Amino acid sequence: MNIKIYTKSGCKYCSQVKELMQRAGFEYEEINCDSKNARMQFYTECPDAKTYPYVIIDGEPIGGLVETAKLFIEKGLVSSR
């Protein structure tokens, strides 16, 4: 599974989505959007995204923390507890 997460420094939801990935045992590529180049990549790759974090799995945009957590629970990759 190829997972890419766009993040910003100091974002508590970004930290939580990374914790979710660790709980599920997934490796991921983190792109920190504090730099202008990373933000430009984010806007190009994720034109519909409005907030951070933003997760893409196997080229498919998933969304933020809530959408990613719901997907993982539905797929049985993590429990809701």
Look-up of token digits 């997760």? 55
pLDDT attached to residue 20: 96
pLDDT at position 50 is 87
Query: How does residue 81 score in pLDDT terms, banded at 50, 70 and 90?
Result: low
Question: pTM score, two decimals?
Answer: 0.92
Instruction: Express each pLDDT in 54-63 by its tens digit.
Output: 999 999 999 9
pLDDT, one tens digit per residue, over 33-79 is 999 999 999 999 999 898 999 999 999 999 999 999 999 999 998 87
Residue 3 in 3-state DSSP?
Answer: strand
Q: Which domains does the chain have, with CATH numbers?
A: 3-74 (3.40.30.10)
Please name which of 2, 58, 60, 4 lies closest in space to residue 30, comparing C-alpha atoms.
4
Q: Tokens 């990373």 belong to which residue? A: 38
Tell me how many degrees the CA angle 56-76-79 measures, rounded to the nearest 5. Answer: 100
Strand partners, 14: none
Pick the closest to residue 3 from 76, 72, 66 (CA basis). Answer: 72
